[in-house]
Structure 1
């Protein structure tokens, strides 16, 4: 823990999920300035599903991609601006445009067992001279050993940082340690290890600290935990714990507290908190961005959204399969009718 922890703020990307991707240009500018002045090292700014995500499938963002990225770039004095790309949702041309808009960090995300689809995108980001990150989503859905093999692929493609990503907030501290420890032991000494946590089981900060103690050097967080499901690791909470533990970082605790309390929380349309639906996400291991889709479908079809999420988990859904939710809700409604 002697090395200073790099904080990657995801308020303007993962936080997009919690506000239905409706941040305005003015809100993006204000949040970027606050996050930057609070000491975060990297600020990620795209649609919640990354470059190319604004669509009927995932929800249209209020502002276009160029506006989101350029506004973040223009309002950050110190932090690097990052973009997320999920191959198949975003394409290489999207990455090139984002780089042209001023993005310096590229995070290429795949399902935890599908790193092979990222080769061209990681290679292009590295060729562009971007800080290139491999982002292994839903990391609870495979063994630590298999996750390491996928990480090695991303490393070979040119990723300088590899993340264990707890997209469902389903990992325990032991689960987190097991994955980070293998990365630390078997990846190159020059490869940085990152961790992205969600708070669906109330373990966002705990897992982030476990990751740091085991060798992670880059940690994701967001103001007031703003993000999908029960939200991400909250920046202000993480800063307080790191201060208590003597972990070195660049965050200003009071500034993160004030930004979370005075600006972020009033922007929330739905409180980012652990409730019965977000807890179900973590318990069943369902992708955190499914929460609002399941909540809406449950109301529309008169079924319990927890049953939708449980069925989705049984089907093995991964990120990008939100369209399954309507079909599941219809099936549950029909079953309810038959048994009534």
Structure 2
């Protein structure tokens, strides 16, 4: 069953220190995300200010945008009113549920928090907007309390359990989601939201989906406060390569890398060259052993074909190339790889390189 991927890049990214995404940046990024076929795009927190409201308003009013545009709101009347003013397609109400968050953030009991959530959801509905609910620090909340919360709001189509502080690991996540489903929570209503403080947000997302969750929050290049959120591109590619395919089925794979790069450009963000999926070095190969084998079969040293996701493979030939690479280049061009020719080609690559595979092949044709 396809998993609904809900992007939080714009809202979470804007909460990182020193970030100020204006309306144009948010709208451009939102349109790029929509190219992927995502279920929803969370474009802001309207009570924060007019920038958030106007970006949501423009995206929600754009007939060419298919994804639901989501506005975040605490379980406070003013937050809901600001979200309604932004004319979002969906208002996602958030409320703390763990003992620590209830005591130190909300200063309320669990029952009081649920009452606040109910009032906020009703207010949003009365304003004519679809509603979702997110349980802040839900993965550190007693499972029985989570089950009661799902039962208390049977008409809310998606309730997201959040690992707000990034404290959980895959085995624990799988156990919690399995327990929820075993206790009667409908997986079709169960969403998850993970932070990457322990470096396992992607693994947690895949574990939750495998255990029965059918909606997941993701973020391009893991953009988000602190260590960020589950990276959209890593969730999709990991699931496509070695998972159920339910997450990967939710997006246009051929647009994945170009759309993510467009989002990063729109928000003036960048990634380290060694960042999985999106980093330039990840699909660049220069080792002689690697390039020699990959000229014959790229899958020898790749977990996936970058082109499947709109990316590009780059084989580099130069001073570091070995005899195997030179021999493979000659064979690929239909030239007998004698020892003399191999030695000559290695000298030429050392002199003129580094160069990509096309240039190296052209060099062989030119010289031999």
**TM band (smaller chain):** 0.5 to 0.7
Contact 1:134 1:151 in 2 (8 A): no
Aligned to 1:45: 43
Contact 1:44 1:82 in 2 (8 A): yes
Contact 2:6 2:42 in 1 (8 A): yes
Pairs aligned (count): 255
Aligned to 2:226: 229
Contact 1:7 1:218 in 2 (8 A): yes
Question: Is structure 2 residue 86 aligned with structure 1 residue 104?
Answer: no
Q: 1:117 to 1:194 in 2, by over 3 A?
A: same
Bigger shift: residues 81-90 or 237-246:
81-90
Separation of aligned partners in 1, 2:18 and 2:77: 17
**SS of residue in 1 equivalent to 2:57:** helix
Question: Is structure 2 residue 244 aligned with structure 1 residue 260?
Answer: no
> Normalization by structure 1: what TM-score?
0.67
Contact 1:42 1:81 in 2 (8 A): yes
> Normalization by structure 2: what TM-score?
0.62
1:230, CA displacement in angstroms?
1.0
Q: 1:237 to 1:269 in 2, by over 3 A?
A: closer
Which runs of 5 or more structure 2 residues have no equivalent in the other structure? 99-112, 273-368
Q: 1:77 to 1:94 in 2, by over 3 A?
A: same
**Structure label with greater radius of gyration:** 2
Aligned to 1:4: 2
Separation of aligned partners in 2, 1:134 and 1:172: 23
Aligned counterparts, 1:1-340, within 5 A: 3-18=1-16, 20=18, 22-46=20-44, 50-54=45-49, 63-75=50-62, 77-88=65-76, 90-98=78-86, 101=87, 103-113=88-98, 114-153=113-152, 155-156=153-154, 158-187=155-184, 189=186, 192-244=189-241, 245-248=243-246, 249-261=249-261, 263-264=263-264, 267=267
Aligned to 2:296: none
1:271, CA displacement in angstroms?
6.9
Bigger shift: residues 254-263 or 131-140:
254-263
Contact 2:140 2:163 in 1 (8 A): no
Bigger shift: residues 252-261 or 159-168:
252-261
Separation of aligned partners in 1, 2:228 and 2:164: 10
1:25, CA displacement in angstroms?
1.6
Separation of aligned partners in 2, 1:230 and 1:254: 27
State the superposition RMSD in angstroms: 2.7
Q: 1:19 to 1:258 in 2, by over 3 A?
A: farther
Q: Deviations over 1:184-226 (max 9, x none)?
A: 2334548511001111111111111111111111111011111
1:127, CA displacement in angstroms?
4.1
Q: Which has the higher contact order (CA 8 A, sep 6+)?
A: 1
Bigger shift: residues 213-222 or 83-92:
83-92
Contact 1:223 1:259 in 2 (8 A): no
1:252, CA displacement in angstroms?
2.5
Q: 1:77 to 1:137 in 2, by over 3 A?
A: same
1:128, CA displacement in angstroms?
4.5
Separation of aligned partners in 1, 2:210 and 2:258: 27
Q: 1:31 to 1:12 in 2, by over 3 A?
A: same
Which runs of 5 or more structure 1 residues have no equivalent in the other structure? 55-62, 273-340
**SS of residue in 1 equivalent to 2:47:** coil
